[in-house]
A and B are shown apart, each in its own frame.
Chain A
Amino acid sequence: MDSQTYINKVHKWGRIWAVITSTCILAYPFILAIVFGAWPKASTTLYALGSVAITFWTVGFIEVLTYTPMLGVGGTYLGFVTGNLSSLKVPCALDSMDKAGVKADSEEGEVISTISIATSSIVTMAVIAIGVAFLSLIYDFLQSEALAPAFDNVLPALFGALGVVYLSRYFKIAILPICVMLVLFIFVPYLNSGMVGIMIPVSMIITLVYSRILYKKNKI
């Protein structure tokens, strides 16, 4: 089977699974309403949905455009169902491709990215399921204030380790977007932790334009 035939098959499988999983996930609140005989008020639900959708549909739209090229075909169909993309699946897939020595845009990259995201999804579900099974035993421990700083700092710990590898490797193209993002997040009060989803594409565009200029000038 040649590469294009395989990719077309992945698209076909992905779309079939997308229909199955989307139906299951989106039908969930309807089944709840039917089972418990309790339908929400349309006006309240639509009002709340509007407020949530303004932010999270924008973030979702941006995530689809930005993460699809990085995740590959299989990784995209899987990653957007299993979630936690920027804090887990994307770094995990990119780290796996890097360690396996394959490019994201090659068929080997497609294979490694899909294996990585599938494994990460299964492990995440398993960890959460184990946690739920023992929740009554560990609830107080997990709620303890002493432990909070560790789990409040997962992203700094993740991006510190990843950052030192990738930013040193691509220092020339990284220096400008890092400076711009640091200045923006420190000096613009409106930019808080909830705004990172919006700022990712801004940062990506700055990096792309800057690296294109450097590339055209033969500086990288």
Chain B
Amino acid sequence: MDFSVNHPLIFIMTAVVLLVVAAQSVFFLVKAYRRGVEIGMEKSVLNATIKRSALFTIAPAVAIFIGLVSLVKMLGVAFPWLRLSVIGAVTYELPAAETAVSAMNLPSLTAETMTAQQFVTIAFVMTFGISLSLILAPITCKRITGGMLKIKKKDERWMDLFMASMFVGMLAAFLGYIVCDLGFVQTDAGIEFHYQLEYWIPVFVMFISAAIMCICGILLKKLNWKWLNDYALPLSMVGAMALAIPISILIS
């Protein structure tokens, strides 16, 4: 069969996998919603969670789609569509694809020149190189959540702090990530010290987002705008992302 990275069969295969994953999401959504009602949770709380999660997701999902666009020139549309809709993130998928290209001793690849064998090699590396958690999570989930239950039974207050510490630890690591292009940085030319304004852009965006969030909090309290509670986080994100554009122009 003639090969193309955008062959209709690849689209059909992608659509089948996505439909299965979408069915799993709907299944868990329905089961959790029904359980919530069964244990006496207000429907308004459950509906608000759906609305809030949907709003929260839109900006990052658009960013994921931009990641997909960056893979299109190399891999076509169908396969990146699958990889970025399930399991993967562009931070995993792009290096995995590039590693496969380099293992084939090719300087670079484009969708137009790619052969079936090259494409299948990349598909194997991207699929199996990032598959451990897919297999490991169902094996370990019961044991890990059971262990958490034991900690909770022993000391509930510590359990609350344990969960808070896990999330705070994750946030602290991401704050580090935001400044990772500042200070001493390993480049192809060796170790450089970055202090120029252009490397501060992510830090400025972070502070702007935090500031918008604070303003929303003040408005919520002072003016009693309860509706803002659902929109504060997406507003802060989108506002800060939008302001990243003029900031970049100003700095450059």
Q: Is A137 an interface residue (CB 8 A)?
A: no
> Given A45-B124, A122-B29, A170-B168 in contact, is the A38-B88 Cβ separation under 8 Å?
no
A133 to B82 alpha-carbon distance, docked (Å): 14
Distance between B25 CB and nearest chain A CB, rounded to angstroms: 4
Tell me if A170 and B176 are in contact (CB < 8 A): no
Q: Is B201 an interface residue (CB 8 A)?
A: yes
Distance between B46 CB and nearest chain A CB, rounded to angstroms: 6
Contact sample, A vs B, 12 pairs, CB 8 Å cutoff: A38-B119, A96-B52, A100-B45, A121-B25, A149-B244, A157-B208, A160-B205, A173-B165, A185-B177, A189-B186, A195-B180, A200-B174
- Chain B: which residue is nearest A124 at the CB level? B61
Point out the residue from B81, B117, B175, B207 that lies within 8 Å of A38, measured CB to CB: B117
A135 to B48 alpha-carbon distance, docked (Å): 31
Q: Is B159 an interface residue (CB 8 A)?
A: yes
Distance between B92 CB and nearest chain A CB, rounded to angstroms: 6
* Interface hits, A112-155 → B, CB 8 Å: 112, 114-125, 127-129, 131-132, 135, 139, 142-143, 146-147, 149-155
Interface range on chain A: under 10, 10 to 19, 20 to 34, or 35 or more?
A: 35 or more
A82 to B177 alpha-carbon distance, docked (Å): 23
Tell me if B183 and A187 are in contact (CB < 8 A): yes
Tell me if B116 and A164 are in contact (CB < 8 A): no
Tell me if B125 and A45 are in contact (CB < 8 A): yes
Distance between B189 CB and nearest chain A CB, rounded to angstroms: 12
Inter-chain pairs besides A1-B38, A142-B69, A162-B171, 9 sampled, C-beta below 8 Å: A41-B117, A52-B100, A74-B32, A95-B56, A155-B177, A156-B178, A156-B209, A157-B236, A161-B209
Tell me if B21 and A77 are in contact (CB < 8 A): no
Residue numbers in B under 8 Å from A20 (CB-CB): 20, 24
Tell me if A123 and B54 are in contact (CB < 8 A): yes
Tell me if A119 and B168 are in contact (CB < 8 A): no
Residue numbers in B under 8 Å from A117 (CB-CB): 28, 53
> Given A111-B35, A150-B242, A160-B240 in contact, is the A178-B57 Cβ separation under 8 Å?
no
Point out the residue from A32, A47, A91, A189 that lies within 8 Å of B119, measured CB to CB: A32
Residue numbers in A under 8 Å from B124 (CB-CB): 29, 33, 40, 45, 49
Chain A, 19-61, contact with B by CB distance < 8 Å: what is the 0/1 string? 0111011101101110111111100110111011101110111
- Chain A: which residue is nearest B233 at the CB level? A161
Tell me if A69 and B148 are in contact (CB < 8 A): yes
Tell me if A157 and B240 are in contact (CB < 8 A): yes
Tell me if A193 and B177 are in contact (CB < 8 A): yes
Tell me if A186 and B179 are in contact (CB < 8 A): yes
Distance between B242 CB and nearest chain A CB, rounded to angstroms: 6
Residue numbers in B under 8 Å from A111 (CB-CB): 32-33, 35-36, 39, 41, 46
Tell me if A128 and B65 are in contact (CB < 8 A): yes
Residue numbers in B under 8 Å from A82 (CB-CB): 21, 25, 85-87
Q: Is B134 an interface residue (CB 8 A)?
A: yes
Tell me if A78 and B24 are in contact (CB < 8 A): yes
Tell me if A215 and B95 are in contact (CB < 8 A): no
Residue numbers in A under 8 Å from B144 (CB-CB): 64-65, 68-69
Tell me if B57 and A92 are in contact (CB < 8 A): yes
- Chain B: which residue is nearest A54 at the CB level? B129
- Chain B: which residue is nearest A198 at the CB level? B173
Tell me if B99 and A158 are in contact (CB < 8 A): no
- Chain A: which residue is nearest B103 at the CB level? A48
Tell me if A56 and B53 are in contact (CB < 8 A): no
Residue numbers in B under 8 Å from A203 (CB-CB): 169-170, 172-173, 176
Tell me if A211 and B53 are in contact (CB < 8 A): no
Q: Is B91 an interface residue (CB 8 A)?
A: yes
Tell me if A26 and B82 are in contact (CB < 8 A): no
Tell me if B53 and A96 are in contact (CB < 8 A): yes
Tell me if A163 and B123 are in contact (CB < 8 A): no
